[in-house]
Structure 1
Amino acid sequence: MSIDQTPFADEMTSVRQPRHDLAAEQAVLGAVMMWPRALDDVSRLLRAADFYRPAHQVIYETVLALSRRGEPYDMVAVGAALMSGGGLSRIGGAPYLHTLVSGVPVAVQAGYYAKIVHREARMRALVEVGQRLAQMGVEGNSEDVDAYLEEAHRQLVSHEETTTDPPLVGEALLEFFDELENGTAEEEKIPAPYVDLDNLLDGFRPGQLIVVGARPSVGKSVVAADIARAAAIKHRAPVFFASLEMSLMELVKRIVAAEAQVGQHLLRKDRMTPENWEKVTKIMDRVSSAPLVIDAAPNVTLTSIRASLRRMQRRTDVEPPRMLVVDYLQLMNSTSKAENRQVQVSELSRGLKLIAKEFGLPVIMLSQLNRNPEQRQDKKPAVSDLRESGALEQDADVVILLHREDVYDKDTPRAGEMEIIVGKNRNGPTATIHAAFQGHYSRVVDMAPES
């Protein structure tokens, strides 16, 4: 009997079967039973549900169970385990196990065939999700379309979950020392735009959720633009900027003003001088070539952000995204049916944290603060002032609060100064950093230039 001859002829009679490759499935199972080391590569990629044929799922589950118990999982051991559990008849009997082993290719190809099985399983998952979406589209409520799309994304992501066991601490320790020695972590982080802030946080790192909170008109959008400009223009790190508050042209105007050091109020045809034209012209090349993608669509959701990030990954004119900036959280649309806005904000916050981990990038999320700072004598904000939900403080790796005395007292001797208060820093100390707020240029700069 050849490797593609099986006792399951009834499975071959369907005209339109789901995507699968029985020969690849057989090759994988034969390899792991003949060469135990092959399971190391296969188990990192495949779970039992990835096999199309139920009999193959049973065999693979048996192999994994024997492996977890530290017992052999060759053809004889698998057959004995199936017999004791009453499952031997479900896979076609002992002769079928012999068929799998006798027809297996060389061991080094086990990983190759496992990839084929995994790809076919993913294709079947697409069909399943598509069928569910089609049913939602026919029977569902059109007002819930965003929720349906979010559910489709969750189903696809759950299919991609691996069965790899978490590493022992010793393995993680070796990786940590490798980062210390080779500086791999240094290459991944994106520096903050202000020297003292960068020294305190040691940059923005993949998987982090950084919340920037302030009362209206203090300058949180200016700081968000500074972070995006520094990452994309100075450090050439691809950035996706979801601007819910400002239009595309407003944000571009701020970027030009900050880079060229020309007042925003002067960036008009009737006010531009030859000197300002020269300044703007000088920065055009470095700004236009920056890997900065700006989405100023009004109806931004977690689903649309994920879709935009995936599209950015596929674009040929820009590298995959390395930072996401959202300005700002309270303007985001929620697909949740929860009537309580606090619950919706909590879901949005948690969703952005998951996006940070899923795409392996830092997420800079702007948030409004409640009115509590205005009730205090010094007007300074606290982490507890984050508006609408305590979940923001819980989910965030870093919480940055902004304060300017001249917002409340025009005659203060500290006019033009911004306090950048790091109220939470999961991986380091907290502190207050002082910087210069240059509102006419739409930027914040270090109080003193680097020496």
Structure 2
Amino acid sequence: MNLAALESEQAVIGAALYDPDTCDVALERLRPDMFFEPYHVAAWERIGLSRRTGSPADALVVTQALAGHPAAEAFGPGYFTDMVDKAVLWSVASHIDTIADRAVRRQVQSLAKDIASRCDDVLDGSGDLLLAELERGAADVARASGSASLAIPAGLDAMEMLEAAWRGDNRGVPVGLECLDRVTSGIRQEDVWVIGARTSMGKSVFGLNLARAISQKGRGSMIFSLEMPRREVQARLICDLAFERRRAFPDCPNPNVRYSDILQGRSIKDQRSLANDGARALASLPMVICDAGGLTIDDIRVQALRQMRAWDRAGVARGCVLIDHIGLIRPVKKGDSKAADTADIVNELKSLSKAIRAPIICLSQVNRGPEGRQDKRPTVADLNWSGAIEQIADFICLLYREAYYLERSADRGDRDSAVFVENKLELLIQKNRSGPTCNLEAWIDVACNAVRDNEVSLSDDRSRHG
């Protein structure tokens, strides 16, 4: 197959120089690097510049602008004028599709040749590394060609969508907290959830509980732990599952298992039995942990795509990707500042969720703003990189534990009263595309890595909603 499509390039350039409206449509679909002929690349760059600056974009302007191009003499002074004379507007859409298609094919061909040429060299990295580079390159090609995808009519399948909604098919996957499921209807495919809090408020506890609950629905959950090693994540999940098992048997004499006891090898016999049950439960869940440090958003995309495909082959539904936490994702290219780098990373999260067709749960740090206020409950403005997060997130929940501050108070009365609220966790929902923004209350045991519904507040909520 001829991957150049020179006739289509000539047809599109001629039509763009002839008709401004056609030019604008073509500029939205095609970038200069999608053209094969270098002279056409330079012409398209000039046409785009003219349209952006409001200056004329005709054959004479382009010819004069490219007079110094190495190929100008070979193509001749009447090259673009001939294109305009032969312009046919009704066929432009087909030529645009052809140019975009050939551009993707050339990129895929180049990527495949590069990887294939290195396959024979066993010293050039590992097979897994080559596969990762291939997947990363394919993701880059797909992302770059996304601007060429056609929009879908708004009314297409509208009745089918509505019927599915009445059946409840549009509800998301339950996240293990009934109070949260009531206001979100669960987490949906391609959602981006952001969980923010100050240090030691329970972000990791909360995030791991959500991932565990989703996996218990038979859906695969992938955890990118960029801070904690895998053993600590395992210990936390075991404690959470052991807590769940003990809760199912209220008369069980075994005390709850704390993850610090597991990490330090400090336990009593009854705790070991309960922890063993938690470990067996964890082994049965479709859940994987990646604790590699220094990952970029592209690294996360490649590994997540590979894992999702593996689950597809095994017949496991896609569950979620948990990232702990946003601030530790390494930028692909270093920018002017850490804030700019992380803002770029945050902006990539939505495209990542679409690429893997699964929701993403991101943990994020809250800055020191609440420490200087009397009411220390955080707001969206207290999130690091709050502007970028607020723009892309479908759901933002900030966590607050009053006990954290009472335990550290200089007032002895405050420290003594901390015991009365030690299990109280406030969920401050700041953004919710699927429902209301509100404040909820849950029950938490940080030492056991357990977050559960607060039965008192849940019963009040049920009475209000019938």
**Corresponding letter in the other structure for 2:319:** R
What TM-score, normalized by structure 2, do the two folds share? Answer: 0.64
* 1:287 lines up with 2:282 in the alignment: yes
* 1:309 lines up with 2:304 in the alignment: yes
3-state SS in 1 of match to 2:219: coil
Deviations 1:397-448 (A, max 9, x none): 1110000111111233423211011011123211111111201211211111
What TM-score, normalized by structure 1, do the two folds share? Answer: 0.66
How far the C-alpha of 1:318 sits from its partner, in A, is 6.7
Q: How does 1:201-220 map to 2 (within 5 A)?
A: 201-220=184-203
Q: Could you tell me how far apart the structure 2 residues matched to 1:342 and 1:134 are? A: 38
**Aligned twin of 1:353:** 350
3-state SS in 2 of match to 1:238: strand
Q: How does 1:182-261 map to 2 (within 5 A)?
A: 182-186=167-171, 189-232=172-215, 234-261=216-243
Deviations 1:64-113 (A, max 9, x none): xxxxxxxxxxxxxxxxxxxx97489xxxxxxxxxxxxxxxxxxxxxxxxx
Aligned match for 1:171, one of 135, 138, 156? 156
Q: Check the 8 A contact 1:421/1:432 in 2, yes or no.
A: yes
3-state SS in 2 of match to 1:184: coil
Aligned match for 1:363, one of 356, 360, 365? 360
**Aligned twin of 1:158:** 144
**Corresponding letter in the other structure for 1:167:** P
3-state SS in 1 of match to 2:455: coil
* 1:180 lines up with 2:177 in the alignment: no
Gaps of 5+ in 2: 5-29, 31-35, 38-83, 89-99, 118-131, 244-256, 408-416, 460-466
Q: Could you tell me how far apart the structure 2 residues matched to 1:447 and 1:290 are? A: 25
**Aligned twin of 2:377:** 380
Q: Check the 8 A contact 2:259/2:447 in 1, yes or no.
A: yes
Q: Check the 8 A contact 2:195/2:364 in 1, yes or no.
A: yes
Q: Check the 8 A contact 1:213/1:369 in 2, yes or no.
A: yes
**Corresponding letter in the other structure for 1:330:** G
Q: Could you tell me how far apart the structure 2 residues matched to 1:390 and 1:132 are? A: 39
Q: Could you tell me how far apart the structure 1 residues matched to 2:218 and 2:202 are? A: 24
How far the C-alpha of 1:133 sits from its partner, in A, is 8.7
**Aligned twin of 1:298:** 293
How far the C-alpha of 1:160 sits from its partner, in A, is 6.3
Q: Check the 8 A contact 1:206/1:361 in 2, yes or no.
A: yes
CA change 1:121–1:320 in 2 (3 A) is farther
**Aligned twin of 2:434:** 427
**Aligned twin of 1:406:** 403
Deviations 1:169-206 (A, max 9, x none): x32532331222443323xx221221111111111111
**Corresponding letter in the other structure for 2:195:** V
* 1:339 lines up with 2:336 in the alignment: yes
RMSD: 3.9
Q: Could you tell me how far apart the structure 1 residues matched to 2:309 and 2:393 are? A: 28
- Give the fraction of aligned pairs with identical amino acids, expressed as a percent: 27
Q: Check the 8 A contact 2:104/2:141 in 1, yes or no.
A: no
Q: Give the helix-richer structure, 1 or 2.
A: 2
**Aligned twin of 1:102:** none
How many pairs align?
339
**Aligned twin of 1:34:** none
Q: Could you tell me how far apart the structure 2 residues matched to 1:121 and 1:314 are? A: 26
3-state SS in 1 of match to 2:344: helix
3-state SS in 2 of match to 1:306: helix
3-state SS in 1 of match to 2:318: coil
Q: Check the 8 A contact 2:111/2:134 in 1, yes or no.
A: no
Please say which of residues 386-395 and 324-333 is displaced more in the overlay.
386-395
